[in-house]
Structure 1
């Protein structure tokens, strides 16, 4: 049956979306425990995440997932009851179990077959933590029909009752599971055990509805439990124990009070008779006073109103983004038409256009917020990469993250996973020294990889750093010469040597391993970053470590741009990098050397670049008097100046990705459609300023703005 005809398909899809959220909460909780800042509530969050995944998996018959989650949950329940200590070694095992649980969830979602023995080694380690032999499928399949006690310590029944130490509140609870409770993998024993932790519990199993063995239906539940709970707790706290099975059972909670000063053994509700069968309480005479006033209704703890969340298919959001892009283009075309018609700026039509522009921007901002997501999920995936890579090379490595709440376009997040994976594996394998070498260098034996994200100058800056030995530049230079990547006589600066790491086929690994050594990695990283309209740079200090900085646009859909004229061609620069505009005088430009000029700005000098010449549209200017210059801010805080021929407009533009058949010129980020229907290229100023653009060959010239028939696709 196809998913279109399956009524459970939508529910199943929602379950796996919820699993992603639960796995995220699980990773957060384990991270807090590993950092030593977790408390009892953190342990409860971890337990609930695994428990909820197990319950949902049981509803869909995902037996392999239920089996692993059940054993994992059992160990976490022991941590909740203080039977196990969540120390560093135990949490490392919990992380590995969480990784395997994540694999099982994704395999179940994608319909992949999981080997039957997958995870058996982890299960054996989890069982060893409890000091119990590993469970087998045959053992778990055995059913015990004799009602048993829950194992709750009721104390010495012959000891005199101490009224002064007893709670003043007694709760009467009736709990009867439905068939759905067992189908979702829940267990009454765990629920009753958690309930008993609230106080002193007297649990009675009601077997009155149990039929004869020949009439017994395994799918129909017949047992119920009655619990007398002595605890100074609220009804809300009691119901919280059963929150995972809400709607899967019949639950009645009632309140009865007894006076501390007059309570006696006879007045106290009876405990189980020691001579009665296990789990059964014999009837006792009713000695409660008949004129006891009705108990006041229990007050529920005030809860903040829950936020409503609607899950929407990503394809619908993408369609909405595309429609907003078309709206921006049509708004620009309308503005162009009204200006061409010569209407007064104070006319009703122009006033209406201004309101239309404001509404268009608000809609665009709102849609971008819908598609923006925190990088937290991406960083959590990198935590697993660090664990696996460190285990593969035998190093102790710790990942520290910062700025997980930084939001970026969902498309950017998805396409960043592979580049970051390459970079982290390189940091663990090449960047960090072995433990013994670190100790001899006065460092901690455990290496640190730091991953951070932040918004800066309208872009997302992601930094990946390690505290290793830094780049061995002499060795890098020697390898590059040996492989013929650079001429033997080439003299390179430190920055140029660092950039050799991005050359295809370059590798410093002495042997091929599971992580590196095949010469594929950093060149793929740079290509992937450039395809996102971003750039990557390296900073390294010998003995201190290396930092990779990735600069990315906030969104791949719409940006605020400055439309400029360059040698008769219309181009767009991101507005957030433009600091100011200047008009050059005869004494403002100083020649440093032939082909390298500086422009004086407020007593200082910044490098000057002729944009038209670098793009190959014209030869280099010899006189810059009267030229218009854009002062550009770089990610590192430095500035530079771009010479243009004119400023046409400032507007929102829709980013359109160039088709793969186009010549890929460095520094050309994308293209856009202007209000008059013409095409303009969107520049990446940092590549231009870095001198990445060179005069292009005749057969690879950039398309001019009259090329209306060029093939474009939505970015």
Structure 2
């Protein structure tokens, strides 16, 4: 079939849509292969993989990607044998399926980039597929394969009546491509039927009115002809009849399409195949309830709604300042507007939220590949794949999680001999999980390996010059060394790790999202990394607090309560710092004024307020402020676009009076306060501020 040209915007859009669908299909294929790799998949997994390959193949054929179509045909053949129970899913077959999926995905990428693959691209995988189809081990020699190949079908003559439904064009289908594909099969004669064409005044350019009667003379089977129409078989009336054929051939044609005028060119399924067909139909029906929208349009919509929220807050404050507070009708109107604005913002944000499953589904394959390369037995356990997070965040999580999982297998999990000697099972376990925690999402990567050897880490850091010799570091500071650029404890460089890159990339990428990485390790028992990431990068429910002349935003979802303590509830602790007694529990106090260098602020907690915060690890913290201004939904503006990252600050927002307020990163406050106290003790001076507001 000749390759269609994409000079027009319309054809280019069809091609773009095809590759977008390929991305979704290949992601589902990868996930299903992961289930098969764990031998936890069922027949539906094979059916889904087959449908994905077949769908990509059909679309690739329409655009003339012949190499991709040819490889997909071999891939399909093996999958079909597995579905029908004619082949066994063993280790060799599974390895061939995984390798075929890699080649298949690479061919799609080359087609997307407009590049042609090398002549021998994927040849070894294609030979392995052929060998498995033969069922006799190594691939057959070419001469033998040619000798055993079935004879080509004799020339046949088909009469095809194609009558599209009116809405055919609205579903991005083009009859011209179908006719071109039929012509590529043999000699084609086409007659166009104009009887349904209305008058010019009644013509709707979006509707299909023409129908065609075609005669095809080709050396192909009826199933090959029917395959041309598989993507439009539910959007047309189609008849495929063979003329001047033997009774045996006519019987074969009847199995492909009945002779009734309204019949479709869909093969009559066997009982086992009927279930597969019904599943595919259900998937198609479900897809009709969604639409594909360019992410740039959604981002623009989110930004505009964010500006609307700011404008609404400004108008509300101006009204309060310039009108009588007894104007209940005006206040009620602004409250109604605020409610509608909030609901609109929540609806828009819900469009951007997607489950983490799209990222998590890649990890089983990664663990399997790296464990085979390192010769280790590793099992991956996952939980929380359906946890939803902003799509912008999801797109940035793939690389950090890939580095962390690879490091967990290579560095965290011991080899089999070491695990058995330590009294552990031979198989190591890596747990990948996600959960909501207030306005953040927590992603845990935990292994049951050897843990971090702090003595070895410190010695390696001194050897590489990352820290000076003789320095005294706390356990937490030693753990942080793994994030230093160029740091690695690997004895040799391999294709898995050892180059000193990876964990520094993880921290940098997560910090770019406004998040952070926490590490907790126990020598001999394992290590847990926690990614603390904002649920969304667009909006936040916050509490506006006053500290001196400054205003700060505290995430509302982390606030438990606020209170003014009595002097008797405040206790000083050795080495500096204060705690407050709350219902028999002592809670550490942190003064924002001291931490951020704000002058003329309340220093005595009994004269101000304490906002009780619950951290992600379940502990509580008291933040001392002057007063609470009120609850407000704020639009997050990144500081990193125009400024370096600020410790303890996750972003900024614009208040109703037009002033900028900083959003406090409450999870970072404890660490910043500890660092400030240590610096003060070393210098024998009062705690110094880490950030001074201008």
TM (norm. structure 1) is 0.75
**In the TM superposition, what are the counterparts of 1:629-644 in structure 2 within 5 Å?**
629-644=610-625
Correspondence 1:86 to 2:89: yes
Correspondence 1:66 to 2:69: yes
Deviation at 1:278, TM superposition (A): 7.2
**In the TM superposition, what are the counterparts of 1:370-449 in structure 2 within 5 Å?**
370-449=351-430
- Corresponding residue number in structure 1 for 2:535: 554
- Corresponding residue number in structure 2 for 1:52: 55
Whether contact under 8 Å (1:179, 1:220) holds in the other structure is no
Deviation at 1:223, TM superposition (A): 6.7
Correspondence 1:474 to 2:440: no
2:140 pairs, out of 133, 138, 151, with 133
- Corresponding residue number in structure 2 for 1:170: none
**In the TM superposition, what are the counterparts of 1:4-43 in structure 2 within 5 Å?**
5-43=8-46
- Corresponding residue number in structure 2 for 1:114: 117
Distance in structure 1 (CA, Å) of the matches to 2:666 and 2:48: 47
Whether contact under 8 Å (2:383, 2:432) holds in the other structure is yes
- Corresponding residue number in structure 1 for 2:101: 98
Q: 1:82 to 1:612 in 2, by over 3 A?
A: same
Correspondence 1:617 to 2:598: yes
Correspondence 1:596 to 2:587: no
Deviation at 1:683, TM superposition (A): 1.3
Deviation at 1:179, TM superposition (A): 9.8
2:154 pairs, out of 147, 151, 174, with 147
Correspondence 1:246 to 2:246: no
- Corresponding residue number in structure 1 for 2:316: 335
Distance in structure 2 (CA, Å) of the matches to 1:469 and 1:476: 13
Distance in structure 1 (CA, Å) of the matches to 2:450 and 2:517: 20
- Corresponding residue number in structure 2 for 1:708: none
Deviation at 1:514, TM superposition (A): 2.6
Distance in structure 2 (CA, Å) of the matches to 1:281 and 1:380: 45
Q: 1:46 to 1:221 in 2, by over 3 A?
A: farther
Deviation per residue, 1:192-227 (Å, 9 max, x gap):
xxxxxxxxxxxxxxx999xxxxxxxxx955478789
Q: 1:533 to 1:143 in 2, by over 3 A?
A: same
- Aligned-partner SS, 2:396: helix
**In the TM superposition, what are the counterparts of 1:458-469 in structure 2 within 5 Å?**
458-469=439-450
- Corresponding residue number in structure 1 for 2:166: none
Q: 1:253 to 1:122 in 2, by over 3 A?
A: closer
Deviation per residue, 1:485-507 (Å, 9 max, x gap):
44544454443332221233322
Q: 1:677 to 1:623 in 2, by over 3 A?
A: closer
**In the TM superposition, what are the counterparts of 1:174-189 in structure 2 within 5 Å?**
none
Alignment RMSD (CA, Å): 4.1
Distance in structure 2 (CA, Å) of the matches to 1:117 and 1:545: 45
- Aligned-partner SS, 1:332: helix
Deviation at 1:434, TM superposition (A): 2.2
Whether contact under 8 Å (1:462, 1:549) holds in the other structure is yes
- Worse-superposed segment, 536-545 or 694-703: 694-703
Correspondence 1:666 to 2:673: no
Deviation per residue, 1:526-553 (Å, 9 max, x gap):
2221221212111223333221111111
1:581 pairs, out of 562, 565, 581, with 562
Distance in structure 1 (CA, Å) of the matches to 2:228 and 2:420: 49
2:345 pairs, out of 359, 364, 368, with 364
Whether contact under 8 Å (2:613, 2:622) holds in the other structure is yes
- Worse-superposed segment, 539-548 or 88-97: 88-97
Deviation at 1:76, TM superposition (A): 0.6
1:525 pairs, out of 506, 511, 518, with 506
- Aligned-partner SS, 1:565: strand
Distance in structure 1 (CA, Å) of the matches to 2:6 and 2:656: 43
Q: 1:589 to 1:29 in 2, by over 3 A?
A: same
2:307 pairs, out of 308, 321, 326, with 326
TM (norm. structure 2) is 0.77
Deviation at 1:441, TM superposition (A): 3.8
Whether contact under 8 Å (1:599, 1:606) holds in the other structure is yes
- Aligned-partner SS, 1:520: coil
Distance in structure 1 (CA, Å) of the matches to 2:86 and 2:485: 54
Distance in structure 2 (CA, Å) of the matches to 1:672 and 1:378: 30
Deviation at 1:444, TM superposition (A): 4.4
Deviation at 1:95, TM superposition (A): 2.4
- Aligned-partner SS, 1:7: helix
Deviation at 1:511, TM superposition (A): 2.1
- Aligned-partner SS, 1:690: helix
- Aligned-partner SS, 2:10: coil
Q: Which runs of 5+ in 1 are unaligned?
A: 150-172, 189-206, 210-218, 228-238, 255-272, 283-299, 705-715
Whether contact under 8 Å (1:372, 1:408) holds in the other structure is yes
- Aligned-partner SS, 1:551: strand
Deviation at 1:703, TM superposition (A): 4.5
Distance in structure 1 (CA, Å) of the matches to 2:7 and 2:621: 57
- Corresponding residue number in structure 1 for 2:663: 682
Q: 1:245 to 1:79 in 2, by over 3 A?
A: farther
Whether contact under 8 Å (1:669, 1:682) holds in the other structure is yes
Q: 1:240 to 1:449 in 2, by over 3 A?
A: farther
Deviation per residue, 1:422-477 (Å, 9 max, x gap):
21221121112223333444444443332222222232111112232222222112
Q: 1:42 to 1:464 in 2, by over 3 A?
A: same
- Aligned-partner SS, 2:305: helix
Whether contact under 8 Å (1:540, 1:547) holds in the other structure is yes
Distance in structure 2 (CA, Å) of the matches to 1:481 and 1:619: 44
Whether contact under 8 Å (1:55, 1:184) holds in the other structure is no
Distance in structure 2 (CA, Å) of the matches to 1:659 and 1:3: 40
Distance in structure 1 (CA, Å) of the matches to 2:358 and 2:553: 33
Distance in structure 1 (CA, Å) of the matches to 2:295 and 2:111: 21
Whether contact under 8 Å (1:470, 1:540) holds in the other structure is yes
Deviation per residue, 1:249-279 (Å, 9 max, x gap):
975699xxxxxxxxxxxxxxxxxx9xx8974
Whether contact under 8 Å (1:580, 1:630) holds in the other structure is yes
Distance in structure 1 (CA, Å) of the matches to 2:652 and 2:551: 11
Deviation at 1:240, TM superposition (A): 12
- Worse-superposed segment, 423-432 or 392-401: 392-401
